[in-house]
Amino acid sequence: MKTPKIFESIYQFLFSNVKFSVFWLVVRIYLGWEWLHAGYEKVINPMWVGKTAGGALTGFINGALAKTAGAHPDVSMWYAWFLKHAVLTYVVTWSNLVAYGELLVGIGLILGALTFLSAFFGFFMNLNYLLAGTVSTNPVLLILAILIMLAHKTAGYIGLDRWLVKS
């Protein structure tokens, strides 16, 4: 079935029109700042990176594992298994990955460098935080990341992607 022309026109207008690059710049910088700030706070915290790395993540995961009880748990059993067997087993490594990953996503989005990839990894982290039962601002950030991925052609136009990524 062919997509109606009106939807193609709206998609092209919102996500492919260079005139919208200023709008996507604002969205990208907001999202990037949120990630940069969260990542920086973790990188300077020894419970995330440093002598006691993994302590904060262990607490977060234990909180998520506690949300597996009841008829309608906040955390699915399959995800709890992943947290318990894959993340807790290598908690220091994951702690560093989360901290530096958030920092790099923020830098990438703010600079408009590899915008699609930065937004994708931000989306992926938000998805994992939601699967771990943490709502907070994660749904909003996840939606903004999806929109930036859809608009990747123009979202990085006012940024380094204008020169880095040739489409």
Residue 167 pLDDT > 60: no
* Residue written as token pair 């949300």: 67
Query: Which structure tokens are listed for 25?
Result: 């710049």
pLDDT of residue 14: 82
pLDDT of residue 1: 63
Query: Which structure tokens are listed for 2?
Result: 């062919």
Dist CA 143 CA 126 (whole Å): 10
Residue 8 pLDDT > 90: no
Cβ(110)–Cβ(29) below 8 Å: yes
Dist CA 108 CA 112 (whole Å): 6
Residue 3 pLDDT > 70: no
The pLDDT tens digits of the residues spanning 38-75 come to 999 999 999 999 999 999 999 999 999 999 988 899 99
- List helix spans (H) across the chain: 5-15, 21-43, 55-65, 77-82, 91-111, 115-131, 138-150, 152-155, 161-164
Residue 157 pLDDT > 80: yes
Residue 31: phi and psi, rounded to 5, are: -65, -40
Dist CA 123 CA 143 (whole Å): 8
Query: Which structure tokens are listed for 115?
Result: 């915008």
Query: Which structure tokens are listed for 52?
Result: 């006691």
pTM of the predicted model as reported, rounded to 2 decimal places: 0.90
CA 73 to chain centre: 23
